[in-house]
A and B are shown apart, each in its own frame.
Chain A
Amino acid sequence: MSPVLIRIALLVSAALFAIGVVGVILRRNAIVIFLCVELMLNAVNLSFVAFSRLLGIDGQVAVFFVMAVAAAEAAVGLAIIIAIFRHYEDVDVERFDLLKW
């Protein structure tokens, strides 16, 4: 594995993270916003794996914990979306203005 490929992996990770940020700002559908958050988590995972190629196996262990937290976050977040949908009949985040003043 040449260092050039590791650098390309880091560039791909940066691009995926930026795409995820753009999606979170751009979209109005709460579920698609969650998908973009998952995309950002996976971009960080790719960085961890690429760096573990240089610095040892600990980066791969960190990816496990990221995956566990992502699974917990997806379960709770989707439950919240279902609860909000029961209340508003919609998942458009611009309509969730209960906390706005």
Chain B
Amino acid sequence: MIEFLFFLFSALAVLSAVMVITRKNPVSAVMFLIVTLFSLAGLFVLLEAHFLAAVQVIVYAGAIMVLFLFVVMLLNLGHAAGTEFRGSFARTLAGAFGLGLAAFTAWLVMGGRSPMPGAASGSVTDPILPLLQEHGAVGAVAVPLFRRYLIPFEVTSVLLLVAIIGAIVLARKEAP
């Protein structure tokens, strides 16, 4: 069952990602990216990252994609412009570069050692499941986040504040 869901979400994510870059209408592209993000949330659940899956749906598929849709509607871009793709040189470059990158990363993944050495003999302990049982899905992430990574976490809040102020200043009508 887990394997079936894993393959289903994987295929859905890749197929709708292809649709994102081939649809001419920007609204369709945003919608297919939402499908990709939901499939990734499903994969996160299967990989025991339950809290991240919830954040993925709420923050990414909810907030950020609504922001994108809002800008598409605001600029009245909800129709295909006719010149959505670049010329033949860029198409060749994109195809060659994309195929090369996919082949290289696939070679890196498939060519190396087994990602979990000793898994077959059962000598490796699972690093996530004991944490989930001890702290719960939220606590397992919260404990390292508020202890080891406390300083980066606080710096992130400053980054978000700067982004808010920057967005307001940039999108304002009159020049500052």
Q: Report A's interface with B, CB cutoff 8 A.
A: 1-3, 5-12, 14-23, 25-29, 31-32, 34-36, 38-39, 42, 45-46, 49-50, 52-58, 60-61, 63-65, 67-76, 78-83, 85-86, 91-92, 94
B 31-61 to A, binary, CB cutoff 8 A, 1 in contact else 0:
0010011001001101111011001100110
* The one of B14, B20, B119 that contacts A36, using a Cβ cutoff of 8 Å: B20
User: Which interface class (under 10, 10 to 19, 20 to 34, 35 or more) fits B?
Assistant: 35 or more
Q: A74-B67, A78-B167 in contact; A29/B81 too (CB < 8 A)?
A: yes
B75 at the interface (CB under 8 A from A): yes
* The one of A5, A11, A28, A39 that contacts B36, using a Cβ cutoff of 8 Å: A39
What chain B residues lie within 8 Å of A9 (beta carbons)?
6, 10, 43, 47
Which of chain B's residues 118-174 have a Cβ closer than 8 Å to chain A?
A: 119, 126-128, 131, 140-141, 144-145, 148-149, 152, 156, 159-160, 162-164, 166-168, 170-171, 173
* The one of A17, A27, A82 that contacts B85, using a Cβ cutoff of 8 Å: A27
What chain B residues lie within 8 Å of A1 (beta carbons)?
2, 46-48, 126
Shortest Cβ distance from B163 into A: residue: A72
What chain B residues lie within 8 Å of A94 (beta carbons)?
86
Q: A27-B21, A69-B159, A79-B170 in contact; A8/B6 too (CB < 8 A)?
A: yes
Q: A7-B115, A57-B141 in contact; A79/B166 too (CB < 8 A)?
A: yes
* The one of A5, A57, A79 that contacts B3, using a Cβ cutoff of 8 Å: A5
Measured between C-beta atoms, what is the minimum distance from A37 to chain B in Å?
Answer: 11
Q: Are A64 and B75 in contact (CB under 8 A)?
A: no
* The one of B17, B71, B160 that contacts A39, using a Cβ cutoff of 8 Å: B17
CA A12 to CA B25, docked complex, whole Å: 25
Q: Are B6 and A71 in contact (CB under 8 A)?
A: no
What chain A residues lie within 8 Å of B115 (beta carbons)?
3, 6-7, 10, 54
Q: Are B101 and A17 in contact (CB under 8 A)?
A: yes
CA A25 to CA B89, docked complex, whole Å: 10
* The one of A8, A16, A32 that contacts B26, using a Cβ cutoff of 8 Å: A32
What chain B residues lie within 8 Å of A73 (beta carbons)?
163
Q: Are B105 and A35 in contact (CB under 8 A)?
A: no
Measured between C-beta atoms, what is the minimum distance from B144 to chain A in Å?
Answer: 5
* The one of A2, A8, A69, A78 that contacts B71, using a Cβ cutoff of 8 Å: A78
23 A-B pairs in the complex with CB atoms less than 8 angstroms apart: A3-B115, A5-B3, A6-B47, A6-B116, A7-B109, A11-B110, A14-B106, A16-B36, A18-B98, A18-B105, A20-B21, A39-B17, A42-B36, A45-B52, A55-B127, A57-B141, A67-B59, A68-B160, A72-B159, A74-B68, A76-B167, A78-B67, A78-B68
